[in-house]
Amino acid sequence: ASLLPLCFRISLVTPLILGLLLQPPLTQLATLTQPNIVLLMADDLGIGDVGCYGNDTIRTPNIDRLAKEGVKLTQHIAAAPLCTPSRAAFLTGRYPLRSGMDAINNYRVIFWNAGSGGLPPNETTFARILQQQGYSTGLIGKWHQGVNCESRNDHCHHPLNHGFDYFYGMPFTLISDCQPMETPEMDRVFRRRLWLYTEMIGLVTLTATLGRLTGLISVRWKTLTCLAGFSLLFFISWFSSYGFVRYWNCIMMRNHEVTEQPMVTDRTTSLILRESISFIERNKHKPFLLFLSFLHSHTPLLTTEKFLGRSSHGLYGDNVEEMDWMVGQVLDAIDKEGLKNTTLVYFASDHGGWLERQEGIRQLGGWNGIYRGGKAMGGWEGGIRVPGIFRWPGVLPAGTVIDEPTSLMDIYPTVVHLAGGVLPQDRVIDGRDLMPLLRGTAEHSEHEFLFHYCGIHLHAVRWHQKDSGAIWKAHYMTPVFHPPGAGACYDRGFCPCFGEGVTHHEPPLLFDLSRDPSEAKPLSADTEPLFDTVIRRIGRAIEEHRRTLTPVPEQLSLYNVVWKPWLQPCCGTFPFCWCDKEGDN
């Protein structure tokens, strides 16, 4: 009789023990809800510049290793073809049009640290939601989403006002003006025009003065004085900003404090890497979000001596190979702290490579592989199709390639859900959670339509027709290349979004990217039986999309992008802004 209760207890306990033994490790269960998240974003990197995307001359072993150990996306699309709007969409999961971060004019990015435009404080970034979920959140590197609104220290657009606990890096973006010996890059054509106007006004003033002194011209001294004063004021009005670009824009900050003004470019790479590794080490005992926003591979291509001359693609290739080395150093730091299996790592570029960026015979911009177009081109694939790689050992299947349309905006809902957060319910979120697709539990992307803007102008739309596998893309506007057939706007340096520099297409140019990813052969009603049906369906999607848009303040309006001295971050007493607080380190 005494054996019966014992047998009964064993019969109850045995399934429980077996069930526990068959469960996945506890660490893996825990990581499915709050993993560490490391987001690596290159600047101006072309999809054709990376080994795992087909480049066999630039060495990128660490990025390639990420793809080998994780998931590679072959149709990863930026929401805009330039830095400021693309990054705004990345941070908010929304088309930049919705936050006012796309341009209504030719000033398509934030131009000054002392501009008043930027990512609006009422936008909710993924960093803010993760911060609320208990994450330590850090941004190292490039920001380019604005700094101040109304005063020098209000920091309304600053990373710390958008959910990041820690910031070290450039509030602006790297430009050639940051290197004293480089040819100025910022607003180059406009600056030449200003110099010309200054010289003309000065010449008129000088001629009138000489004429008055020699008696050849009858003009009052009062008039000459006013003319000379106007000449001086005109010169000061523009030279006070454009004459000191390196001091106003090329600065480094730690949180709200300016640490270098101007930045010391020789050590920028080592400082950014040091700060990134330090952030991982400091926060290894709790969930963290690290957004490492590289200054590579934007001109002037800051490259340390160790990597100069190493690649077969000149300075640009050297710079990409150094960035790949930095990726490897970050991955090593993750491994060293024993965080590899509890960390989701993501690598991408903010948009395509800059084809027009050249100095003489030197090509300083990236390569976009088989894809047409490049940076600043809102419709062509080369401007918006970027590398997209995820690694999370034990959760995402290694060596997987996904050929489905995805967006940089998808990072927002993906990391929010992983952190246990809730998406904002008071606004449209255009991104989609990628985890089902990445883990293989979903066959198709949730995106049926993606809208490709150039500024506020809709240039193209893609339709993923899931039942047939076709990926239709209709172009309503395309840039006019110069010289004709060159594939870029070499006469301008950037392709425009509107005006005489674009061609309107009626009916639109139509391609099936599943058959013609290079967009080389447009279809027509004669060559494609579904032409009219596809165009009508895309037209209805555009109407539905536009009904979701609401008016918002334009952050890149002319008033918001101009330099305002009272908004200039300064580590001294303005205008005497100079410091090097990293020198002792």
Alpha carbons 299 and 297: distance in angstroms, whole number: 7
* 527 C-beta neighbours (distance < 10 Å), count: 10
Neighbours of 554 (CB within 10 A): 18
Of the candidates 335, 281, 279, the residue with the CA atom closest to the CA atom of residue 69: 335
> What's the one-letter identity of residue 62?
N
What's the chain's length in residues?
Answer: 585
**d(Cα 142, Cα 125) in Å, to the nearest integer?**
16
Evaluate whether 141 touches 292 at the Cβ level (below 8 Å): yes
- Widest CA span in the chain: 135
**Separation of alpha carbons 272 and 169, rounded Å:** 7
Contact 162, 127 (CB under 8 A): yes
**Count of Cβ atoms closer than 10 Å to residue 550 Cβ:** 9
Asked about 454 being catalytic, the answer comes back as: no
Q: How far apart are CA 498 and CA 459, in angstroms?
A: 10
Closest by CA to 408, choosing from 376, 430, 425, 427, is 430
Residue 578, amino acid: W
Give me the catalytic one of 52, 76, 144, 452: 144
Helical pair 314-336 and 268-282, crossing angle rounded to 10 deg: 20
Q: Distance between CA 404 and CA 387 in Å, rounded?
A: 13
Which single residue is written with the structure tokens 């004709």? 484
- List the Cα angle 121/125/127 in 5-degree steps: 120
577 is catalytic: no
Residue 536 is encoded by which pair of tokens? 């009508």
Cβ count near 145 (within 10 Å): 27
Distances (CA, A) of 181 to 184, 240, 404: 9, 20, 44
Peptide bond into 121 cis (omega under 30): no
Give the distance from CA 358 to its chain's centroid.
21
59: which residues sit within 8 A by CB, 6+ positions away?
51, 311, 321, 324
549 CB-near residues (< 8 Å, 6+ apart): 97, 98
Contact by Cβ (8 Å): 407, 379 = no
| CB-CB contact of 348 with 381 (8 Å) | no
Buried b (16+ CB within 10 A) or exposed e, 331-348: bebbeebebbbbbbbbbb
Beta pairing class for 71-77 and 36-42? unpaired
Of 7, 52, 76, 83, the active-site residue reads: 83
Residues annotated as catalytic are: 83, 144
